[in-house]
Amino acid sequence: MTTPYDAFAVRYAEQFRDTLHDRVLERALLRAFAELVRTNGNGEVADLGCGPGHITAHLRELGLKAFGVDISPAMVRLAREANPGLRFELGSMAALDIADGSLGGVLSRSSVIHTPPQDLPVVLAEIGRVLAPGGHLLISLFATDDPSIPSQSFDHTVTTAHRWSPDHLAGMLRDAGMGEVARTLCEPQPTDRRQFRELQLLSRKG
């Protein structure tokens, strides 16, 4: 099976190797996420749509038992090569091979941007299913400019992508059993490649 990211995997890994370097706020959020997971028993954490595994490795450095899952065989191969001590599995966020209620946390960093809007509830339900009670999800994606529009598609180098209204996403997460804890909205900066405001939403399974 080939997936849209296979042909871009090597370029993506090189381009975003140091992506957290100038992202002070995102690093702070990841630290907060890690602290919440550790405080709640330090269960395993899945980095869904982990790509080349650079953020999975960062989560490990923050003391989490993190592993990665990605649908792209090329991404999983690169992640394994770059991080020999870590576990990376081939799989889809829409049908996770993970037991109910078994995870202390889930990170979904720009990984649902290519999920068609009608399929996002299925992915969020899967995340809600695998999180343990009190487990945290940190999800990031691009926000719509007009919050009254639930979602909008946009051109993306790899394949069609979608951005979401923060309130609409928070509502879908609530429907999947995860209540909002906090959110940040970061404006595009001259130093990064973002076209749109980026939403980071932290939620907790009730």
Ligand X SMILES: C[S@@+](CC[C@H](N)C(=O)[O-])C[C@H]1O[C@@H](n2cnc3c(N)ncnc32)[C@H](O)[C@@H]1O
Using CB under 6 A, list all residues that contact ligand X: 3, 5, 16, 49-51, 55, 69-72, 75, 92-94, 109-111, 114
Q: How many CB atoms lie within 10 A of CB 192?
A: 12
CB of 9 to ligand X, least distance (A): 7
Residue ranges of alpha helices (H) inside the chain are 9-15, 24-39, 54-61, 73-82, 120-130, 166-175
Say how far apart CA 118 and CA 183 lie, in whole Å. Answer: 23
Q: Which is nearer to ligand X, 36 or 113 (CB)?
A: 113
Decide whether 10 or 41 has the Cβ nearer to ligand X: 10
Distance CA 157, CA 80 (A): 24
Q: Which is nearer to ligand X, 102 or 110 (CB)?
A: 110
Nearer to ligand X among residue 23 and residue 65 (C-beta): 23
Task: Locate 17 and state its tokens.
Answer: 């190797």
Least CB distance from residue 171 to ligand X, whole Å? 21
**Is residue 93 classed as helix, strand or coil in its secondary structure?**
coil
**Shortest CB 175 distance to ligand X, Å:** 19
- What distance in Å separates the CA atoms of residue 81 and residue 175, rounded to the nearest whole number? 38
**Closest distance between ligand X and the C-beta of residue 27, in Å?**
13
